[in-house]
Amino acid sequence: MTADYETLAKTIAALTEGETDQVALMATVACEVHHSDDRFDWTGFYRVTEPGVLKIGPYQGGHGCLVIPFERGVCGAAARTGETQLVSDVDAFPGHIACASSTRSELVLPVRDSSGKVIAVFDIDSDQPDAFTQQDAQNLEDILTAVFTGL
């Protein structure tokens, strides 16, 4: 099963309409995205809780890392640069943090509030190499923008 992004975006919009609590929104998005595609092995948010620090937020899948500094890993790179990170082979990514040994590829997207400030990153791991495309990234960026920029 591969994500039907048009349906996924409509479902998430309907479920989150009127909600302003960041954690509730993150939990809903993580759940819906995780169950939309067989490639998605771990799906969740790391929240910016203090300058330079990400902490685990709502997620689906096995345990995640509890704390990730901006200087480390794919999630840290997305938070530090404010740019989406599409990594086809995590073993080739300098400073990759192996929260799960099964992860082969990763897609991490910055999450911004209405002022453009990065408030979290949305992390999707796959146990398949080269699992993600630029189209996946664009569709997920659009969903995150629709959900979080009103906050």
Q: How confident is the model at residue 24 (pLDDT cuts 50, 70, 90)?
A: very high
Q: How many domains does the chain have?
A: 1
Q: With H, G, I as helix, E, B as strand and everything else as coil, classify residue 6.
A: helix
Short-list 57, 104, 48, CA closest to 76: 48
Neighbours of 74 (CB within 10 A): 24
What pLDDT does residue 100 have? 74
Provide the CATH number for the domain around residue 110: 3.30.450.40
User: Residue 98 above 90 pLDDT?
Assistant: no
pLDDT at 21: 97
Record the pTM: 0.96
**Which residue segment(s) compose the domain that 51 sits in?**
5-148
φ/ψ of 150, rounded to 5, equals -80, -5
